[in-house]
Chain A
Amino acid sequence: MEPIAPILELKGLSKAFGGLKVTDDVSFKVMPREISVVIGPNGAGKTTLFNQITGHLRPDSGRILFKGQDLVGRTTQQIVALGVGRAFQVASLFLGETVLDNIRVACLSKLDQTRKPLRPVSDFKRATKRAMEILDSLGLARYAARQAHELAHGDQKLLDIGIALALEPVLLLLDEPTSGMSPEERHLTRELVRKLWKDFNLTLIFIEHDMDTVFGLAQSVRVLQSGRLLAEGPPEEIRKNQDVITAYLGEEVA
């Protein structure tokens, strides 16, 4: 039997700003359908790592293989087209548009219909239907006609995830999906992310600080510290890893 190929593979990824190494020789593999979390103290280089995967930053050295293709040197547009999606730490929305249009513009982009100048947006049935489906699965359908800036903070973060989903990604990167939420909201979001993972056949990598979410959701954990990969493995192992406990978890768990 042929072994399953990893969907994402980082090989010796390094990036420095001035003299500061923000990503230091990071290598790991993510398998298809895996739910993986990246944790680490503030400034460990988690978001920087995401920025390199999605083409916002160009690594100094190393390779990023997505389905066997190197992403280094490609533009964000090309990387999105290959099937990498991303939701942001601070929801990145079109605040003056309706909730529906926020998703619909993404659906239209996916269908390559954003150059159509003559028919009103609502005439595009396929994109509209798809957008409503996504709003439904996020539980935001009742706000469809509201403007995005009228949404509560937690809902804005969901909408951000929705925009990413509309682009039909294979791999979805979530940057702190539960930050700024109350414990109840976190729980709901956690369950929602799990449902989305199932419904949309996703491979997930997320950055998280909330340990309940980390251990309640992730199948594998990677710990970054000062740009280096400190440890990786299943959650139970990481929980027992002495290095991790002293370096990071110590503050919160011990």
Chain B
Amino acid sequence: MPSKPKTANTWYLLIFLVLFSLVPVLKTTNYQMLLAAHVLVWGLFAVSFNMLFGVTGMLSFGQALYYGMGAYGAGLCVKYLGQAWFFPGMALGIVLAAVTAWLLGHLIIRVSGVFFTMLTLAFGQLGWQVMFKWYSFTGGDDGVQNIIPPGLFSNKVIYYYLVLALVGASIWFLGRLSASPMGLILRCVRQNPERVRFLGRRVRRNQQRIYIISSLFTALAGGLMSGVDYSIHTDMFYWTTSGHVILMSILGGIGQFFGPLVGAAVIVTIEDVVGAFTEYWSLIIGTVMLVMVLGLPRGLMGEISQLWTRLPGRQQALTTREEGN
């Protein structure tokens, strides 16, 4: 049964922001703050992705393309033009990502279902190949190091708060969007595209719109990450990055607005803890994915909210539907 994404609850968002703003204040190490920043950036990436998948039903396997564009926009500008170009470069990456999404959207939204997914993958990998092989410009597999945000923001704590503010504002916006008429029509597109046509709305136009919006925020996440890690790498474009964000969303719950954010926090934590002990990371996330898809398709947040609604003995579905002939 299709489940409705919980409209963004402002309270959740506030609690989340307060918790994360406490991280540098409490006596945490730089490393813990770095982890928190990773959760924030991956969280934004995952929430943006879920606007496509959980809300509109478009499973993109190529969002790494936009993530990489944001990161490389900032990183390459710093490399060639200097530190001061960090933010203009990030903006450039975001604009490029939006334009690319607009262009590619025209090509790949013509097909639906599995073929949409595979085309996003193919174009994503195309982007990776270009970045990987264009060594003279991008540094290829070596990536670019020493991308330090300019001025005040070279301070890790200040940059952390900038990340928190931008991620918070973006998630707030996407939450508003998912509760708005635009979010409603997008959920309708997922559930019954045929009927949406019969509302006099164009299905593809709506898909194109959210594809661009999602890619734009994905690029923002990428840009922010370049300043968190002080470096960029072609892996940001690689398909496993797209797969990673899908896993976060599935784990947290694609039917819940905040699900992907929770998923991001869980995965970043697990990766930190388990990553130290084993090199067989993809075996672990593969197994997690398998279990989630087969056993818990609603995700962690989805299962919790299901338990919650069951508790007070909420009225159950009235009747079964029967199919007409």
Contacts and interface: CB of A to CB of B under 8 A. Distances in A.
Q: Do chains A and B touch in the complex (CB under 8 A)?
A: yes
Given A149-B321, A153-B321, A121 B192 contact: no
Contact of B324 (A113, A117, A152, A176): A176
A80 B318 contact: no
B177 A109 contact: no
A105 B322 contact: no
Contacts of B31: none
Nearest to A109: B199
Interface in B145-190: 173, 176-177, 179-185, 187-188
A121 B179 contact: yes
A151 to B, nearest CB: 7
Contact of A105 (B4, B185, B323): B185
A117 B1 contact: no
Contact of A147 (B4, B176, B194, B198): B4
Interface in A82-105: 86, 89-98, 101, 104-105
B173 to A, nearest CB: 8
Given A96-B4, A118-B177, A86 B198 contact: yes
B192 A93 contact: yes
Contact of A77 (B4, B181, B183, B202): B202
A105 B188 contact: yes
A121 B324 contact: no
Interface in B69-103: none
A167 interface: yes
A81 interface: yes
Interface residues of B, number: 37
A94 to B, nearest CB: 5
Interface string B1-15: 111100100000000
B310 interface: no
B187 to A, nearest CB: 7
Contacts of B317: 149-150
A171 interface: no
Given A105-B185, A117-B176, A117-B182, A97 B191 contact: yes
Contacts of A81: 200
B195 A94 contact: yes
B106 interface: no
Contact of A118 (B180, B188, B195, B201): B180
Contacts, number: 122
Q: Which of B185, B195, B198, B322 has the most CB of A within 10 A?
A: B198
B187 A114 contact: no
Interface string A140-176: 0000000101111100100000011001000000001
Nearest to B189: A94
B2 A96 contact: yes
A68 interface: no
A120 interface: yes
Nearest to A78: B200
Nearest to A104: B184
A154 B179 CA distance: 29
Contacts of A92: 192, 194-195, 198
Contact of A108 (B176, B185, B192, B197): B185
Contact of A120 (B180, B185, B188): B180
Given A95-B1, A118-B176, A167-B200, 12 more contacts: A80-B197, A95-B191, A98-B4, A106-B199, A110-B200, A114-B182, A116-B180, A117-B177, A121-B183, A127-B181, A149-B317, A180-B322
Interface of B: 1-4, 7, 173, 176-177, 179-185, 187-188, 191-192, 194-195, 197-202, 206, 209, 317-319, 321-325
18 contacts: A54-B198, A77-B202, A89-B324, A90-B324, A94-B192, A95-B191, A104-B184, A105-B199, A108-B184, A109-B185, A113-B181, A114-B184, A114-B201, A116-B182, A118-B177, A120-B176, A151-B319, A152-B319
Top 4 nearest A-B pairs by Cβ distance? A96-B2, A80-B200, A109-B199, A114-B185
